Structure 1
Amino acid sequence: MSDHPTLASHRSGQAIAGAKFHDPMSGVVQDANATLDDSWTGRTLGEYELGKKLGEGGNGEVFAARHRWLDRLVAIKFLKPTSLENDDLNERFRRESQMAAKLIHPHVVRATDGGMVGKLLFLVTDYVNGPDLGQLVQRNGPLRVNDACEIVLQASDALAFVASKNTVHRDVKPSNLMLDDDGCVKLLDLGLARSLDHGHTMTATGQVMGTIDYMAPEQAVDPRRVDCRADIYSLGCTLYFLLAGKSPYYTDDLGTLAAKLLATIESDPVPLHRLRRTVPRSLANFVMQMMDKDPGRRPQDYSHIRETLANFSIGSDLRALLGQQQQSSTTQTFKGASPLTRLSDAFDDGVRVFAYWLAENCGFIAADPVSRAGQRKTYRISFQWLKFVLVFAALAGLFWYSGFHFEYIPADQSQFP
């Protein structure tokens, strides 16, 4: 097998610099104090030969690797050495490894190995040869409607399986969804997943868990008390990102985490149809429903999402999407609406606002009470207008019954004393 581009051309066979690791055959365990960087490329960890670093997060780093005995590519996630003294992070990493090993599904990245070498924790998963959704949009710009819906439909299948195991992912976002070279969506990173089967939790009171741009409001308030509807919110934000080319709360006015967190809880994002008018209005409304602040107004399960998105994903071709090159025309299309489009949107919004105002003042609809800041105004059918009809009918009947009438007398026939 020829070297994969992610693997080093040299094969030193050295142990990782600065550390001596556990040899399964000798039973020797010594401290691991190495710095995780590209100098690890070409070194070995047991049967694994490390390639280049693929990425890193707050507490973990991921390397490509090759299993020398099986001659198979894998990805290895290490807990950063700086996090080793944090018992909560160690336990969370162990729990992630155990969860990943139990979740066997075509759209979930499979865990194949893991453990501790010296003091270094690691998790081995299948290698996904493809971009994550963030990289895909960065390269191609906003996706076609049918491709975006097909991607989220597949992701919803993965999350439905996760939910069937009484687990909430709690960190659904574009960078945690990858597209392999067969056009298959893969869900990864269960580091923040929480099992609903266990009463205990590792999240401290007041601690924010997740990624602000894609986090459900109730998760921002208390990440310990969420269910699958929090993941549905995050999936809606992901679909918004695929169609608009930016996250729901990505603006210059929300440059800080605190501002984004407040907006997540209290504000509504720009309606999707204003950013991209080629998105069908029914789909745009469904995306906004998935991102509703109130969990009770979102789709309550993934079957509803699958049923809705299936109609919009017809004609998708994810394999062709992987082969596309970035086209400036596509990117330019969605950089901003034209003046004519903005004028049309303003006219549409003005007509809608006036229609609601007129219907409310005439008693045909009534506004529901607003229970919290930032909540969208909703309406219900009202029969207040019947009062006006009944009053008018009563007055008309009274005039008729009393014999009251008007008599017109032309001016030329009038008689004056």
Structure 2
Amino acid sequence: MVVNPELSKFWQAAIRSGMLDADGLAYCLEGIAPERLTPRGLDRRLARQAVAIGRITPWQAQQLLLGRWKVLRIGKYELLRPIGSGGMGDVYLARDTTLDRKVAMKVLSGEQGRNPRAMARFDREARIAGQLQDEHLIRVFDFGDAAGARFLVMEYVDGESVSRLIEGHGALPPGAAAEVGLQVALGLEYLNLKGTLHRDVTPSNMLVDRGGTVKLADLGLAIDLDDAERLTREGSTIGTFDYLSPEQASNSRGIGIQSDLYSLGCSLYHMIAGQVPFPAPTLPEKLVAHRLTEPAPLSDLAPSCSPALDAVIRRMMHKAPEARYARPADVASALEPFASGSATLGRMVSMGGARTSASSPETVEAFIVQWLESDPEPELDEKPSAPVAHPATPEVFPVIYVEAGTATAGGSPGGPPPIGPGGRIGARRAEAKAQRPLAMIPGSLSRFVRRFAAGLGRRIGGRR
């Protein structure tokens, strides 16, 4: 049977999307044996050839085969593949077609786009991050709307998040952890000089590139110090609870840079101990522990950690803000004698981070490649195989952006953690249930949690 390739679903979707032109598709066609040009297998074979010659990614091929060509471009940006998702939306590895460079693109989910508070947070991240230029902070390149999709374009880091390094390697060597802490402290010092609080300093927001440079990501919760009192009066608990300072948990109006230093101390503790400081099963217990309980000594969990480094971290995690270091620069100086250097971190990144899971971007991509390479015309008389929706790439996509499994996307299935090409990274990963970022809790729930924690704390204190 004679087949007109120009009428195939893939050919038409590729032309309409701009991913391939007629000449490019004709070149793909030349790589297919004439006897294989059948109606049943042509689409997938064309897609396979386009991937093989590097014209499109496996994820783009899947979208074209499913007729979702409109999701592949937002303004001047070509989406290459999902690398993460979160409560605010999804993060993609993208290409700036004007400057021909890879970027990370965060796209606000449809549900969050209708949430005034989420919109304000998204806009605040763009406004604050766009004014910052520091080696240890993720840079923002662009911000805007295209056909109803609100997006933020950021520097793409080819490497690992510290949380995934912990997953892949277990507890980090104290010297490597100190190096991470030192570089993050330098980034926080820059923020401090700019009068800005980060408010979500966690291992998942620390990205390490292949040269061992650490960059602090996700300024969605950052605020100007002048705004701190106004925002806390609005009644929201903000941050990630395993790393939340006592004053941040209690919604104090006097929150300052020492709160970020406490969170950095908790992160360092996690890196060295291999567990969070207060691995309590419930949120109220975590909040009470941050207020009243001392963590297990690092010497019990990590004998290789020197008493001097343990003392630095304990000071960072002091319950009283005034007893902590005065500035991030002081923390950097205190950590410097223990830091192993960026080369050590670079080697750890090159070794790889977390083991892949069923929903990781690596697994998703391998799944797509396996499907593309499978025979579209099995010898047995069975129904032709069709694109199977992996849990991280659901069937329903809006016109512009993918309301996919989430780097924490509201209302959508659980999705892949941030991962980059040839490595595993991104803007942010969804935390395990006990550690997941609850960026902003509505005031009513926040007040209930604080009252519950305060009451529990009084009962515990009364028993002493």
Same structural fold, with TM-score higher than 0.5 when normalized by the shorter chain: yes
Q: 1:336-415, aligned counterparts within 5 Å?
A: none
Question: 1:10 matched to which residue of 2?
Answer: 61
Partners in 1 of 2:182 and 2:325 — Cα distance?
14
SS at match of 1:156: helix
Partners in 1 of 2:60 and 2:199 — Cα distance?
38
For residues 87 and 9 of structure 1, do their structure 2 counterparts lie closer, same or farther at Cα, with a shift above 3 Å needed? closer
For residues 324 and 13 of structure 1, do their structure 2 counterparts lie closer, same or farther at Cα, with a shift above 3 Å needed? closer
For residues 52 and 276 of structure 1, do their structure 2 counterparts lie closer, same or farther at Cα, with a shift above 3 Å needed? same
Question: 1:361 matched to which residue of 2?
Answer: none
Structure 2's unaligned 5+ residue stretches are 1-52, 356-456
Aligned to 2:263, which of 234, 254, 276?
A: 234
One-letter amino acid of the structure 1 residue matched with residue 87 of structure 2? G
Question: 1:320 matched to which residue of 2?
Answer: 347
Under a length normalisation based on structure 1, what TM-score does the superposition of the two structures give? 0.67
CA contact (8 A) 1:215 1:264 kept: yes
Kindly state the Cα deviation for residue 227 of structure 1 after the two structures are TM-superposed: 0.8
C-alpha distance after superposition, 1:331-355 (max 9, x if no partner) = xxxxxxxxxxxxxxxxxxxxxxxxx
CA contact (8 A) 1:292 1:298 kept: yes
1:220 aligns with 2:245: no
Question: 1:297 matched to which residue of 2?
Answer: 323
Partners in 2 of 1:283 and 1:313 — Cα distance?
10
Q: 1:197-212, aligned counterparts within 5 Å?
A: 197-198=226-227, 201-203=230-232, 205-212=234-241
One-letter amino acid of the structure 2 residue matched with residue 321 of structure 1? M
Aligned to 2:309, which of 277, 283, 286?
A: 283
Partners in 1 of 2:91 and 2:252 — Cα distance?
26
Structure 1's unaligned 5+ residue stretches are 20-39, 329-370, 376-417
1:104 aligns with 2:133: yes
Question: 1:387 matched to which residue of 2?
Answer: none
1:90 aligns with 2:141: no
Question: 2:144 matched to which residue of 1?
Answer: 115
CA contact (8 A) 2:60 2:80 kept: no
CA contact (8 A) 1:54 1:64 kept: yes
Kindly state the Cα deviation for residue 7 of structure 1 after the two structures are TM-superposed: 7.0
Kindly state the Cα deviation for residue 10 of structure 1 after the two structures are TM-superposed: 3.4
Aligned to 1:258, which of 284, 300, 308?
A: 284
For residues 46 and 289 of structure 1, do their structure 2 counterparts lie closer, same or farther at Cα, with a shift above 3 Å needed? same
SS at match of 1:186: strand
For residues 249 and 7 of structure 1, do their structure 2 counterparts lie closer, same or farther at Cα, with a shift above 3 Å needed? farther
Kindly state the Cα deviation for residue 3 of structure 1 after the two structures are TM-superposed: 5.2
Question: 2:358 matched to which residue of 1?
Answer: none
1:128 aligns with 2:173: no
Question: 2:186 matched to which residue of 1?
Answer: 157
CA contact (8 A) 2:246 2:290 kept: yes
Kindly state the Cα deviation for residue 222 of structure 1 after the two structures are TM-superposed: 0.9
Partners in 1 of 2:62 and 2:179 — Cα distance?
41
Kindly state the Cα deviation for residue 190 of structure 1 after the two structures are TM-superposed: 0.5
Partners in 1 of 2:196 and 2:354 — Cα distance?
39
CA contact (8 A) 1:3 1:9 kept: no
Question: 2:336 matched to which residue of 1?
Answer: 310
One-letter amino acid of the structure 1 residue matched with residue 334 of structure 2? T
Larger of the two Rg values belongs to structure: 1
Kindly state the Cα deviation for residue 105 of structure 1 after the two structures are TM-superposed: 0.5
Question: 1:188 matched to which residue of 2?
Answer: 217
Percent identity reads: 35
One-letter amino acid of the structure 2 residue matched with residue 129 of structure 1? D
SS at match of 1:114: strand
Partners in 1 of 2:262 and 2:314 — Cα distance?
9
Kindly state the Cα deviation for residue 75 of structure 1 after the two structures are TM-superposed: 0.6
CA contact (8 A) 1:62 1:78 kept: yes
Higher relative contact order (CA 8 A, sep 6+): 2
C-alpha distance after superposition, 1:301-342 (max 9, x if no partner) = 1222122111111466222222236899xxxxxxxxxxxxxx
C-alpha distance after superposition, 1:10-67 (max 9, x if no partner) = 39899x9598xxxxxxxxxxxxxxxxxxxx4xx1111111122222222232111111
Partners in 2 of 1:206 and 1:200 — Cα distance?
10
For residues 159 and 6 of structure 1, do their structure 2 counterparts lie closer, same or farther at Cα, with a shift above 3 Å needed? farther
CA contact (8 A) 1:267 1:374 kept: no
CA contact (8 A) 1:77 1:123 kept: yes
1:47 aligns with 2:45: no
One-letter amino acid of the structure 2 residue matched with residue 231 of structure 1? D
C-alpha distance after superposition, 1:42-96 (max 9, x if no partner) = x111111112222222223211111122221001111221112221221221111
Q: How many residues align?
A: 306
CA contact (8 A) 1:47 1:67 kept: yes
Under a length normalisation based on structure 2, what TM-score does the superposition of the two structures give? 0.61
Question: 1:31 matched to which residue of 2?
Answer: none
Partners in 2 of 1:258 and 1:177 — Cα distance?
26
One-letter amino acid of the structure 2 residue matched with residue 121 of structure 1? R
